[in-house]
Amino acid sequence: MKKIKSYLECISCSKKYYIFDPRYTCTCGDLLDVKRDLSEINGKKLVKKWEERWGMKSGVLSSGVWRYKELIIDVDKEKIITKQEGNTRLYPSGLAGIYAGIPKLLLKHEGENPSGSFKDRGMTAGVTVANILDSKMVACASTGNTSASMAAYASKAGFKSVIFIPSGKIAYGKLAQALAYGGKTLQIEGNFDDAMELVQKVCSELDIYLLNSINPFRIEGQKAICFEVLQQLDWKVPDWFIIPGGNLGNNSALSKALMELYELGIITKIPRIAVIQAAGANPLYRMWKNKTAYKAVKNPDTIATAIKIGNPVSWKKSLRGIEWSNGVVEEVTEQEIMDAKAMVDKAGIGAEPASCCVVAGAKKLVEAGVIDKKASAVGILTGNILKDPDAVINYHMDRLKEVGINGSYKNIPIQIPADIQAVKTALSNY
């Protein structure tokens, strides 16, 4: 079949560029979208092709991203750098859904990706384009997961990777991955927003390929979360998608995917998107709630370090999608995040703090009557429970009081002598 042609287009002034023009923004300064002529695509035939690829055992098209390559980037298979990402489970939420008051909530566990977060989906697309452009060095600023993913994919491709992380402020599991996969790791004296500003300057001056979600191909890869959820649901659209918001790339990808499926007639209903931010890092929430102009939050802070971001790059794309889907933005407190996390974990699913904003946010929106308790909803769990063991241990040992978080559902380990009587006593009220 002939390849689907695509191009880059500015989200503001609609200026178009060659698809592999190595740029991240328009000359007017705004973000770029990857666009393709959807009128050339037959939606029914496309879905049939995707269904045929479902369950493929090996090869590039067994990836949960490249299965959908027609709507990602239709490139030669030989150029694709993949780790068979995606193909993650969609769990009934059990205890977590009951806690949130919405039992039909399903949780898509993107922490089951190869590097333990949803970032692998965007990264396979971004690193593939780096390969097409023959860039041998890639870089990103990160709160941890992007860097872990980029370092892994860069190593797989034989590229060098340079990582800009806020010094001392990323979860240990993520730092460990960056180092282990061989990324040159630069700990910046400053927060994520400072690192993001710096990496853009560095990439343009040193001719390094930038792999943050300002790169439109990262967004294209991340759209596959939506495609895969809907395929798992036999293309039946839930009432809601609920997703955490940090740099705001992932929800931008979700709405872009839905817009394209809708335009192709593959779906005929538009689900509402709820973006959940941590109250300490909530620029989108403030803007949406108060109907004010965009303003970055200075000194963002939250235990959900993945989304500790005050100046998100993709806020315009995010807002575009929320408005299109008649969506909402909610904020959740530190206590709400960690209590919801205790429920996601106890349900036997488990995820890192930022991901659990989904359940905390669902609970708030159900209580406020925004989400109906009988609604169907899919929450995106973005990162693996093992990414941030400190947050888990400190909560269960009740050591987060100084940052204002109680271990409401704590599970403290008990130290006992090695004898059977001590075991009986310990188990007496279990």
Binding residues (CB under 6 A) for ligand F0G: these are 117, 119, 142-146, 213, 244-250, 306-307, 352, 354-355, 382-383
Query: In whole angstroms, how close is the CB of 44 to ligand F0G at the nearest point?
Result: 31
CA dist., res. 385 & res. 306, Å (int): 13
Complex with ligand F0G: residue 60 or 213, whichever CB lies closer: 213
Token pair recorded at residue 53? 């690829």
Is the Cα torsion angle 250, 93, 289, 331 positive or negative in sign? negative
CA dist., res. 264 & res. 294, Å (int): 32
CA dist., res. 351 & res. 357, Å (int): 10
Three-state SS at 46? helix
Enclosing H/E stretch for 346: helix 334-346
Helices (H) and strands (E) in the chain, counts: 15, 13
Strands 32-36 and 6-10: antiparallel
Of 414, 400, 394, 387, nearest to 174 by C-alpha is: 387
Q: Alpha helices of 138-279 — where are they, by DSSP H?
A: 145-157, 172-180, 192-206, 216-222, 224-232, 249-263
Complex with ligand F0G: residue 327 or 383, whichever CB lies closer: 383
Helix 334-346 to helix 389-396 angle, to the nearest 10 degrees?
A: 100
The end-to-end CA distance of the chain, in Å, is 62
Q: 90-109 burial by CB neighbour count: b if 16+ within 10 A, else e?
A: ebebbbbbebbebebbbbbb
Query: In whole angstroms, how close is the CB of 321 to ligand F0G at the nearest point?
Result: 12
Query: In whole angstroms, how close is the CB of 272 to ligand F0G at the nearest point?
Result: 18
Complex with ligand F0G: residue 126 or 383, whichever CB lies closer: 383
Complex with ligand F0G: residue 87 or 143, whichever CB lies closer: 143
Query: In whole angstroms, how close is the CB of 277 to ligand F0G at the nearest point?
Result: 9
Query: In whole angstroms, how close is the CB of 274 to ligand F0G at the nearest point?
Result: 13
Query: In whole angstroms, how close is the CB of 143 to ligand F0G at the nearest point?
Result: 4
Complex with ligand F0G: residue 260 or 352, whichever CB lies closer: 352
**Distances from the Cα of 326 to the Cα of 36, 64, 376, angstroms:** 24, 28, 16
Complex with ligand F0G: residue 100 or 140, whichever CB lies closer: 140
Complex with ligand F0G: residue 140 or 365, whichever CB lies closer: 140
CA dist., res. 407 & res. 409, Å (int): 6
Query: In whole angstroms, how close is the CB of 421 to ligand F0G at the nearest point?
Result: 44
Of 187, 147, 148, nearest to 166 by C-alpha is: 187
Query: In whole angstroms, how close is the CB of 276 to ligand F0G at the nearest point?
Result: 10
Three-state SS at 148? helix
Query: In whole angstroms, how close is the CB of 296 to ligand F0G at the nearest point?
Result: 14
Complex with ligand F0G: residue 116 or 271, whichever CB lies closer: 116
Query: In whole angstroms, how close is the CB of 55 to ligand F0G at the nearest point?
Result: 28
Complex with ligand F0G: residue 317 or 363, whichever CB lies closer: 317
The DSSP code for 333 is -
Query: In whole angstroms, how close is the CB of 310 to ligand F0G at the nearest point?
Result: 12
**Distances from the Cα of 133 to the Cα of 20, 31, 146, 208, 418, angstroms:** 7, 20, 20, 11, 62
Complex with ligand F0G: residue 75 or 305, whichever CB lies closer: 305
Of 329, 353, 334, nearest to 343 by C-alpha is: 353
- What number of other Cβ atoms are within 10 A of residue 411's Cβ? 12
Complex with ligand F0G: residue 50 or 285, whichever CB lies closer: 285
